[in-house]
Structure 1
Amino acid sequence: MQEFRRFVRGPVGKVLLAAIILPFVISGFYGYFTGGGSDSTVAEVEGNKITRAYVNSRTQQLRQMLRQQSPNINESMLDSFIRPQMVLQGIVNEQLMIAAARNADMAYSDSQAAREIRDNPAFVDNGAFSETRFEQMVRAQGMTPQGYLDGIRQERISQQYRGAFAGTDFALPNELAEQRRLGEQSRDIRYVRLDLDGLRRNVTVSDEEVNAFYEEHQDEFMRPEQLRVRYLELNPSHYADRIEISDEQIQGEYQARKQMRESASTRRQVAHVLIAVNDDRDEDAAVARAEEARQALESGESFADVAAEYSDDAATANSGGELGTVEPGALPESLDQALEGLSVGDVSEPVVSDAGVHLLKVESEQKAETAPLAEMRDQIVADLQRAQAQSMLSEDLVTLEELIYEHANLEVPAEQLDLPLETTDWVSLQNLPAPINNDQVRQALNSDAVREQGHNSDLLELGGDRFVAVRLQDTQAAEPQPLAEVRDDIVAQLRLRKARDRAAELADQARTAAEEEGADLNRLAELLNGAVEEQSGLQRGAAEPDMAVTDAAFGTPRPADGETSDIRFVDLRNGDLVAFQVTGVEDGAVQALPDEQQRQALRELARVEGERTFRQVMAYLRDNLDVELHPNRLAEGESQPAGQPQP
């Protein structure tokens, strides 16, 4: 039993367990495992439950997207930034929009979503939609094809709802004129700056002060524990020089792909008429109307005319009912079955699906074709090399896992599998070299088995088919750094402290002088050891003399013409202090822009107002729809793929 447990914990055991579990994940039993009890429901929106598994799945998807965009991103930072609690709020907002959209009778049909999938270049292989590629990519995201379809449908409905507010707002010329008057306004200021760096340069620090600080703060100048780590790595590139692909293998693989491709089902150009089932028409009435449309076709009317008159699919009714080119599996099962028995030009009997009742017509069909071997050769060679490397890797993983468990060192495993055995220089745990700079490695090096008992680590899977085993060769305990090494840092800290203390004294004197004695900027310049400077034509958002000063200047009440504002003070992030007063204000242009620029500016202002309106709508939905949150039920960590909430 102990041997079995060790095997299951290792990467090989995990791979085999995944192969065993996967059929359950993608089968009808899936809903049984993720249906969950009340403790797995982390939120409800209008009675629609959002499960912990779904939130964790969406969290992992977002993290994976960021990993793909930034491969070198720090994992711990990623986990801290993309958290289930944050993702849950986004999902709740999605469900609020969907619920409100449903209440407003907004819809996006399955056929529209299916067409969007077929038109997605990511699912195209050899110039045509590939059901296999689609399913592989969807499964890789932890979703089912139906779940992906539902996701598109819900996303488009949400966009419709958002667009109803964000995309329909408008702005008037007088609003634009006022925005320009304020937005393009400029201000003149006079100011004096207390320069912390200048104070720091004039500060002196004695040896006695340095020694005293060192003695009192030795815990701040500790050299972290140093390690020397031995490690070996196994990855597919280890086999690159061992793999040779023969012409016979390439030809055999090409013929296999060609046969599979050419034996695939025919691609068909399909059109349809959809009779919707709704509150005004049940399924029997929809079938009767479909029969009526079919009779119109038999009497000689064109399919395009019948679609325009009878079809409830707004996206296709005025374009001949065209659904585009489809392959088996692209449409709901009932429609696929109906298409199987149709030839070019045939029209089906009424077919029922979740979307309603359909009449289908096959307008053309095309046999699958295979590209010439010359065009596919490089891809075939790469696929065969990858497959062989994976096969060799899988075999060696079993051996390596046994060797690192059975031997008291890494030399024997490295020698038997011809792997390079590396040893680091003295490094801290947080500053490991690139090949092993990974949180899993840090956890292994901190484990009792490796640190206290001197064993090899388990075989660690670091991602990208990289597997590493580590062993702690030697350690040096944490110890205080010599004073000579940290003296410069101590001097810098003491200078900064003294400068800040002096700056605080001067700032207090300046504020007292301005507020109680009515001192002007010239007097404050003397107190702050600075000079009075001027900035004319200061624009909103300007970085000079400082963004905080700019914001404060535009937040100061407008002085009367010919007068100046009161003196105001701004503490800057770098420790400086600025005292300023506004000496002049010039409004932005109020005359109308040229016609095209005026239209563009009004559209942009309308967009901004629309987004603001939409945020108010979301706040209203939060307050008025039935929303229950249980964020305490969220659990961090890996989760199985989960079906998404259904509206």
Structure 2
Amino acid sequence: MMERMREGVSSIWVKIILALIILSFVLTGVGGYLASSDQPAAAKIDGEEISQAQFEQAYQNERNRMQSQLGDYFTTLMGDPGYVQQFRRSVLDRLVNDALIEQRANALGLRISDDQVKQAIRAMPEFQRDGQFDNDAYNAILRRSRFTPDQFAEYMRTDLLRQQLLTAIQSSDFALTNEVAQLQQLEQQQREVRSLTLDLETFKKRAEISEEDSLAYYKEHAEQFMRPEQVKVSYIELSADTLKQTIEISDDALETYYHENLAKYATPEQRRVRHILIQGDDAQAKEKADAILAELKGGADFATLAQTKSEDTFSAKQGGELDWFERGVMDESFEDVAFALKNNGDISDVVKSTFGYHIIQLEDVKAPHAKPLADIRDELLADLRDQNTAEAFYNLETKLAEFAFEEPESLDAAAKAVNGKVQTTDFFSLEEAEGVLASPAVLQALNSPEVREDALNSDVIELGAEHVIVVRVDDYRPEELLAFEDVSDQVHEILAAERGEAAAEKLADDMLVALRKGDNTLLENNDLSFSEPETLSRRGNDPVLVEKAFSMPKPDASQTVFDMTHDQQGNVVIIALDKVTEPELDAVKANDPLADQLAQMNAQQDVMALLDVLRADAKVTYSVLDGTAQ
């Protein structure tokens, strides 16, 4: 229970919520995400399709994320075809879950307004500069991601819709005081143990293994010693990030760009106004506002009327005065009139907004002010270099495609055309592909008959935004059984480990039988002894020992409990549990972190239960993995 509680913080529930707002999932090569294809759908949910391109992009994004977090360990995991299949299934399951949640949210009548979408986009740090939304940055990122504003807004609307449903589920859970108290007691429980380690290396050295034994094992387990089919690959990689480093910007070009984009690097015009607000949208409110306007036209003081008659109680205290504001802050109709007033003291007609009826008086204007070129030189250089890089990249991409196609039996001409370098690999299996070669699109190309069998250049393959590659197979060797002479040491090591572990476990089993009877003879005969007593908590430094110790039954007052496990090095460990100490609990606090964790776990279970119901009610068909329907 306590282990599940600790895992709750990084649970699938949290991941589902976070996954809905991770922008990198959207902005990494999303051109293919929305594109149609003749390929069969990866999955169908009641007729709604998840495209193959959508699935492959999601898979690659998740693979890149895991690679960056786990490094070489993840590379090792991906060398196991079984793990790869499981990993791909988990990604497709997540896409199916998203679709099911979206369908249920729509069925419940949940909706996301245009204003909610707008506010969510404006709050994204990727689209901001100096803490403010930058429309140019927004359009540039969408352009490079091959999204139109309407497509991106619809994507955000769908994500926010799912989040709305999930948040409603999350906020409905809570933890009872007695539940938290019981969990506190389990969390703070301590166990006194002694341990005895049977070193696996010692038993491996004692194992007697003849060459006949090794040869017999080799023949019986030939599948373990197969060298997988392998390829040698050469490729040209073209990336805007790399190209950017070579782009030179002259001072003249920089100054010209600065003057052409002064508005972009200037503080916007700001205005300070007073206003009188009459709330409501009916004829009576309009009539009241018209009467106030008539008084103003008759010479009444604006500030005085605002103090006595404005229904914006906060600004009324300051005579209707508002803080400085720029375009994009106020209600659009209010803003249009405020920025149309010409001179300080000018008073508008009655203006209708979503808040009611306003009368506006212009107090002051701050003209836009351009930042000096010297102050923003680095920012200008980065912007101009981005623009020049994009143009240069697409020109080079076109050349790469042309030369790779026109001279398909070599990459030399294509490399010369783009001033690039042909990179080569040694033999490797596709399951062990690393870096850019691990991309699903690249692996698909390397498996194609044209590239693998005919030894032709691939088409240009898009790895991400402004990142492409062309590959070819230089050499190929099929799967084959490695010679016994080449793997004899490996076979010997495997046998020694198996037999050594079996011998250690046999001795441990015998010891457990004897110890449970109170017989220490085997300990004495093997010159073994337990360690000094050690008090463990659930958050101990040795997770293997802790997990086993806290899974053992409580000992009687005078009877030690014995059991066996393996440590992180594979050694056999016998554990003697002597005593369990229960804590004396203080009063449970309402905001105890444990209560939050329990509520979080309940929320996770609610989400999983919802998904179980949705899957049971829907027809879900997987095409790309195993073709089974659920």
TM-score range, shorter chain: 0.5 to 0.7
Unaligned runs of 5+ in 1: 1-20, 34-38, 44-49, 277-284, 312-316, 593-597, 637-647
C-alpha displacement of 1:132 = 3.4
Partner residue in 2 for 1:291: 286
* 8 Å Cα contact 2:45-2:100 kept in structure 1: no
Which of 72, 88, 91 is residue 80 of structure 1 equivalent to? 88
Distance 1:169 1:291 in 2: 51
Map residues 193-208 of structure 1 onto 2, 5 A cutoff.
Answer: 193-208=197-212
Partner residue in 1 for 2:593: 604
- SS for the counterpart of 1:533 is coil
Distance 2:586 2:512 in 1: 42
Partner residue in 2 for 1:257: 261
CA displacement, residues 172-192 of structure 1 (integer Å, 9 cap, x when unaligned): 8xx877655543232223454
Map residues 82-161 of structure 1 onto 2, 5 A cutoff.
Answer: 83-89=91-97, 122-125=126-129, 128-137=132-141, 140=145, 144=150, 146-147=153-154, 150=157, 161=168
Corresponding position: 1:554 with 2:550: yes
Which of 613, 617, 621 is residue 632 of structure 1 equivalent to? 621
Distance 1:400 1:378 in 2: 31
* 8 Å Cα contact 1:506-1:527 kept in structure 2: no
Partner residue in 2 for 1:7: none
Which of 518, 521, 529 is residue 520 of structure 1 equivalent to? 518
* 8 Å Cα contact 1:414-1:420 kept in structure 2: yes
Distance 1:66 1:406 in 2: 34
What one-letter code is carried by the residue in structure 2 that aligns with 1:485? D
**1:492–1:459 Cα change, 3 Å:** same
C-alpha displacement of 1:442 = 3.6
Map residues 1-40 of structure 1 onto 2, 5 A cutoff.
Answer: none
TM-score (norm 2): 0.68
Which of 304, 311, 329 is residue 306 of structure 1 equivalent to? 311
C-alpha displacement of 1:148 = 7.4
Distance 2:288 2:94 in 1: 50
Distance 1:63 1:365 in 2: 52
Corresponding position: 1:487 with 2:488: yes
**1:55–1:425 Cα change, 3 Å:** closer
* 8 Å Cα contact 1:193-1:531 kept in structure 2: no
How many residues are aligned here?
560
CA displacement, residues 34-92 of structure 1 (integer Å, 9 cap, x when unaligned): xxxxx99847xxxxxx9656999799689758857966878986973762422443565
Distance 2:97 2:221 in 1: 44
* 8 Å Cα contact 1:270-1:326 kept in structure 2: no
Deviates more, 1:109-118 or 1:198-207: 109-118
C-alpha displacement of 1:203 = 0.7
Distance 1:156 1:433 in 2: 35
Distance 1:457 1:124 in 2: 39
C-alpha displacement of 1:255 = 0.5
Map residues 490-639 of structure 1 onto 2, 5 A cutoff.
Answer: 490-506=491-507, 508-510=509-511, 513=514, 519-520=517-518, 522-523=520-521, 525=523, 530-544=528-542, 547-561=543-557, 563-570=558-565, 576-590=571-585, 602-612=591-601, 614-615=603-604, 628-632=617-621
* 8 Å Cα contact 2:234-2:424 kept in structure 1: yes
C-alpha displacement of 1:256 = 0.2
Map residues 418-433 of structure 1 onto 2, 5 A cutoff.
Answer: 418-430=419-431
Deviates more, 1:613-622 or 1:186-195: 613-622
Identical aligned residues as a percent = 22
What one-letter code is carried by the residue in structure 2 that aligns with 1:449? E
What one-letter code is carried by the residue in structure 2 that aligns with 1:307? D
What one-letter code is carried by the residue in structure 2 that aligns with 1:497? E
What one-letter code is carried by the residue in structure 1 that aligns with 2:495? L
Distance 2:427 2:196 in 1: 51
CA displacement, residues 470-529 of structure 1 (integer Å, 9 cap, x when unaligned): 333334454443434322211111112222433454455456556xxx522625646887
Distance 1:331 1:521 in 2: 85
C-alpha displacement of 1:257 = 0.4
What one-letter code is carried by the residue in structure 2 that aligns with 1:89? N
**1:523–1:574 Cα change, 3 Å:** farther
**1:504–1:401 Cα change, 3 Å:** same
**1:68–1:245 Cα change, 3 Å:** farther
* 8 Å Cα contact 1:186-1:539 kept in structure 2: yes
Map residues 29-428 of structure 1 onto 2, 5 A cutoff.
Answer: 42=45, 52=49, 64=61, 67=64, 80=88, 83-89=91-97, 122-125=126-129, 128-137=132-141, 140=145, 144=150, 146-147=153-154, 150=157, 161=168, 164-165=171-172, 171=177, 181-236=185-240, 243-258=247-262, 266=269, 286-288=281-283, 290-291=285-286, 294=289, 300-302=305-307, 306-308=311-313, 325=325, 327-328=327-328, 341=340, 349=350, 351=352, 366-407=366-407, 408-428=409-429
CA displacement, residues 393-437 of structure 1 (integer Å, 9 cap, x when unaligned): 333333332222222433333345544344444555455675655
Deviates more, 1:356-365 or 1:186-195: 356-365
Distance 2:89 2:347 in 1: 56
* 8 Å Cα contact 2:268-2:326 kept in structure 1: no
**1:51–1:304 Cα change, 3 Å:** farther
What one-letter code is carried by the residue in structure 1 that aligns with 2:463? L
* 8 Å Cα contact 2:508-2:572 kept in structure 1: yes
Partner residue in 2 for 1:314: none
Distance 1:321 1:607 in 2: 44
**1:322–1:99 Cα change, 3 Å:** farther
* 8 Å Cα contact 2:276-2:309 kept in structure 1: no
**1:512–1:65 Cα change, 3 Å:** closer
* 8 Å Cα contact 2:236-2:471 kept in structure 1: yes
Deviates more, 1:242-251 or 1:108-117: 108-117
Distance 2:278 2:164 in 1: 20
Distance 1:101 1:370 in 2: 48
* 8 Å Cα contact 2:508-2:564 kept in structure 1: no
Partner residue in 2 for 1:445: 446
Tell me: higher relative CO, structure 1 or 2? Use CA pairs within 8 A at least 6 residues apart. 1
CA displacement, residues 197-232 of structure 1 (integer Å, 9 cap, x when unaligned): 432221121122223333444443234445443433
What one-letter code is carried by the residue in structure 1 that aligns with 2:91? R
Distance 1:626 1:275 in 2: 52
- SS for the counterpart of 2:540 is coil
**1:100–1:498 Cα change, 3 Å:** same
C-alpha displacement of 1:253 = 0.7
C-alpha displacement of 1:161 = 4.1
* 8 Å Cα contact 2:237-2:469 kept in structure 1: yes
TM-score (norm 1): 0.66
Distance 1:58 1:475 in 2: 29
C-alpha displacement of 1:583 = 2.3
Partner residue in 2 for 1:467: 468
What one-letter code is carried by the residue in structure 1 that aligns with 2:536? L
What one-letter code is carried by the residue in structure 1 that aligns with 2:452? R
What one-letter code is carried by the residue in structure 1 that aligns with 2:583? G
Distance 2:526 2:264 in 1: 83
Unaligned runs of 5+ in 2: 1-29, 37-41, 79-83, 296-304, 626-630
C-alpha displacement of 1:365 = 5.6
**1:274–1:608 Cα change, 3 Å:** farther
- SS for the counterpart of 1:201 is helix
